[in-house]
Amino acid sequence: MNCDICGELVPEEDSFIVLPEQIVQARDKGYIPARLPDSWKTDDVTSAQKIEAQWHLVVDENALVDWLLCPSCHLELIQHQKAQSSVSL
Ligand SMILES: [Zn+2]
């Protein structure tokens, strides 16, 4: 199994299944993964803005399917959600 964010191989017992709504909500609150695959950073996609646009596209394309995340990406997502919820308090 590969992480749906960073693309790294992750053993099934270490993987986290995340509902697409969680990804969409986090994305809508400005979440951009720090561990997006290097393949995104081609000559055509160098600027942060382009990477962000591609991330938005990927989220939209996968807004109806569960996401499989490695522990690192899952932790990052959780931390982003916590940070956002503490801001809204
Ligand atoms: Zn990952």
DSSP 7-23: --B--GGG-EEE-HHHH
How many Å lie between the centroid of ligand 1 and the Cα of residue 87? Answer: 25
Residue range 10-48, pLDDT digits in tens: 999 999 999 999 999 999 999 999 988 877 766 665 677
Neighbours of ion ligand 1 (CB under 5 A): 3, 5-6, 70, 73
How many Å lie between the centroid of ligand 1 and the Cα of residue 45? Answer: 20
Residue 69: pLDDT over 70: yes
How many Å lie between the centroid of ligand 1 and the Cα of residue 52? Answer: 17
pLDDT of residue 46: 66
* CB half-sphere exposure, 43, CA atoms < 13 A: 0
Q: Where does 1-88 have alpha helices with state H?
A: 20-28, 48-61, 71-88
